[in-house]
Amino acid sequence: MTNNMISEAMRLSGQEIELCYHCHKCAAGCPIVDAMEYGPDRLLRMLALDQRDAVLRSRDIWLCAGCYTCATRCPNDIDISAVMDALRQLAVTEGYPAGERDALLFHKLFLGVVQRLGRSHEAAMLGLFKILSRVPIYRDLGSGVALIRRGKVPILPEKSGAAPEVQQIFRRSK
Amino acid sequence: MSYSFYPGCSAHSTGLEYGLSTLATFQHLGLELEELDKWNCCGASSAHALGHHILSLALPARNLAIAQEAGRDLVTACAACFSRLKGADHTLRNDPEVRDEVESVVGFNFTGEVTVRPVLAVLYEDCGLEKITAHVQRPLTGLKVVTYYGCLLVRPPEVTQFDDPDDPQVMTELLRAVGAEVKPWSYATDCCGAGLSLSRSDIVYSLVDRLTERAREAGAHAMATACPLCQLNLEMRQSSKSKMPVFFFTELLGLAFGLSEVKNWWTKHLIDPRPLLRSVGLAK
């Protein structure tokens, strides 16, 4: 029995999830827990109970902000942020619809821009996010305009000279 | 002293005044920052959030490779870039198997000679409080701030190896050294919501509102930060009518040093800090 959920998550994340004794310190410190369905502690328990479907469908894995509060406070040194990374990876590879569709969209757009240009380019990324996400198109328009007027969202991307090597890194990392 | 400088994408865009004020204060203190040639994005949270483990290490590692060539410590302003660069450095030092893979993806040999450091650490450790105080032309007397680090400068501590992850002091000491009144509070390392700002602004509004509320309770007029994403979220996601300005700590150092460029930084803010600065006699 090596292919159950917990061993898969342990292998991918490199974390000894089985050490969790459910002290709830991760959940107590998590800044996003109020918006989550289960919270980090219950997610770890669900892994142990092999509740694959519920875990990979949950919005929690997409809501994790990657703040490392849980990882820093865990008395058993489980880097729960790394577990969350592994769970998102599994959810994407196995074709689960992301529990927070726009969070996945944001990461994909960001990486897409970096892959092409070598650096981030806010104007391209924000424009595409506006068009493709379910966030109402009028939201944040005021702030967007204010940022553009302050020269903080350049319309044209920077020529970094890094793009060809970065594209190679993307190809080789597959 | 001279360093390789990794500005990160934000210092050229949404965190423009952070990049500008970092360069100006370093120059004023006689610390040389040379921008890393042809640097690339560190992958931010997106590369590892999607579980692209090797990519999330190879992107920052390419910058480590360039810094290794340059042969100087690598200084970065952005907290998220610091986390990715230092995290990759930590993995390359401690995991030989992954190191081999990342080395072959990037095409370099990792020597470990370069130390990755945040701007805060360089100012505190290499320049020192005494020298910083000696440069003060205009003490920030009467300016009441709380210092806000956010997550990635101090967590996870075994990687960042910087300051105290629960009660960090470096920014506080730097700002006190230039005369600011830094108020104690317990939220310096609470999360602002980071990359959720676009997809779930509701969550970020509630986190930011709590932070600004606590900052007011602590008696602060403003917050000082060392992270461009935190600063953007903090200025963009306040829902209350009275808005609290959020400074980059380097801007406050520049103000105390009497640098003339400061006026170009204030106009970059989404929340204009000039009324506050005027009220305490620090701007015209």
- Domain extent listing, chain A: 5-93, 101-172
- Could you read off the pLDDT of B6-61 as tens digits, one per residue? 999 999 999 999 999 999 999 999 999 999 999 999 999 999 999 899 999 999 99
Per-residue pLDDT of chain A (174 residues; tens, 9 = 90+): 457 999 999 999 999 999 999 999 999 999 999 999 999 999 999 999 999 999 999 999 999 999 999 999 999 999 999 999 999 999 999 999 999 999 999 999 999 999 999 999 999 999 999 999 999 989 999 999 999 999 999 999 988 899 999 999 999 997
* Structure tokens, B198: 């676009």
Q: How far B246 CA lies from chain A's nearest CA (Å)?
A: 15
CB contact under 8 A, A69 and B155: yes
Q: How far A131 CA lies from chain B's nearest CA (Å)?
A: 13
Residue B158, pLDDT above cutoff 90: yes
* pLDDT level of residue B278 (50, 70, 90 thresholds): very high
Q: Is B158 in the same domain as B104? A: no
- Residue A174: predicted pLDDT: 78
Give A21: exposed, middle or buried? Use CB within 10 Å, 0-12, 13-18, 19+: exposed
Cis before B156 (ω within 30): yes
SS3 at position B118: strand
Describe the strand order of the beta sheet including B246-248 as a list of residue ranges: B181-182, B144-148, B222-225, B246-248
Cα distance between residue B38 and residue A120, in whole Å:
14
**In B, residues 65-84, which contact A (CB 8 Å cutoff)?**
none
- Residue B204: predicted pLDDT: 98
Q: Which residues of A touch B198 (CB under 8 A)?
A: 102, 106, 126, 129, 133, 135, 140
Residue B188, pLDDT above cutoff 80: yes
A111 inside 8 A of chain B by CB: yes
Residue B220, pLDDT above cutoff 60: yes
Q: Is B152 in the same domain as B227? A: yes
Q: Is B82 in the same domain as B178? A: no
Q: Is B81 in the same domain as B193? A: no
Cα distance between residue B191 and residue B234, in whole Å:
11
Query: Which of B51, B86, B119 is the last residue before a domain boundary?
Result: B119
Would the CA dihedral through B275, B280, B283, B284 be positive or negative? positive
**In A, residues 71-110, which contact B (CB 8 Å cutoff)?**
71-72, 79, 85-86, 88-90, 92, 100, 102-108, 110
Give B206: exposed, middle or buried? Use CB within 10 Å, 0-12, 13-18, 19+: middle
Percentage of chain B with pLDDT > 70?
100
Q: Are B256 and B182 in contact (CB under 8 A)?
A: no
Beta bridge partners of B247: B224
In a mutational test of the B interface, the residue from A122, A169, A171, A174 whose CB has the highest number of chain B CBs within 10 Å is A169
- The interface predicted TM-score (ipTM) is 0.95
The answer as to CATH 3.30.470.20 being correct for domain A5-93 is: no
Q: Is B133 in the same domain as B263? A: yes
Cα distance between residue B256 and residue B250, in whole Å:
10
Asked, for residue B124, whether it belongs to a domain, the answer is no
Query: Which of B119, B153, B184 is the last residue before a domain boundary?
Result: B119
CB contact under 8 A, A147 and B9: no
- Residue A2: predicted pLDDT: 56
Supply the DSSP string of B220-241, one letter for each residue: -SEEEES-HHHHHHHHHS--SS
Nearest CA in chain B to A127: B198
pTM: 0.97
* pLDDT level of residue B183 (50, 70, 90 thresholds): very high
* Structure tokens, B234: 């903090």
CATH number at residue B268: 3.40.50.11810
Please compute the mean of the pLDDT values over residues B70-82 and round it to a whole number. 97
Q: Is B172 in the same domain as B239? A: yes
Q: How far A172 CA lies from chain B's nearest CA (Å)?
A: 6
Cα distance between residue A150 and residue A148, in whole Å:
5
Asked, for residue B284, whether it belongs to a domain, the answer is no
Please compute the mean of the pLDDT values over residues B123-128 and round it to a whole number. 98
Asked, for residue B99, whether it belongs to a domain, the answer is yes
Q: Are B22 and B250 in contact (CB under 8 A)?
A: yes
Asked, for residue B229, whether it belongs to a domain, the answer is yes
Q: Is B134 in the same domain as B268? A: yes
- Residue B187: predicted pLDDT: 97
∠ CA A29-A33-A39 to the nearest 5 degrees?
A: 95
Domain count, chain B: 2
Q: How far B130 CA lies from chain A's nearest CA (Å)?
A: 33
- Pairing status of strand B2-6 against strand B32-35: parallel
Please compute the mean of the pLDDT values over residues B222-249 and round it to a whole number. 97
In total, the C-beta contacts within 8 angstroms joining chain A to chain B are: 172
A173 inside 8 A of chain B by CB: yes
CATH number at residue B24: 1.20.1050.140
- Residue A159: predicted pLDDT: 86
In this complex, the residue of A69, A110, A135 whose CB is nearest that of residue B44 is A110
Among B280, B147, B208, CA closest to A143: B208
Q: Is B49 in the same domain as B187? A: no
Cα distance between residue A73 and residue A29, in whole Å:
8
Would the CA dihedral through A84, B7, B60, A14 be positive or negative? negative
Q: Which residues contact B275 (CB under 8 A, 6 or more apart)?
A: none
Domain holding B82, by residue range, is 2-119
Chain-wide mean pLDDT for chain B? 97
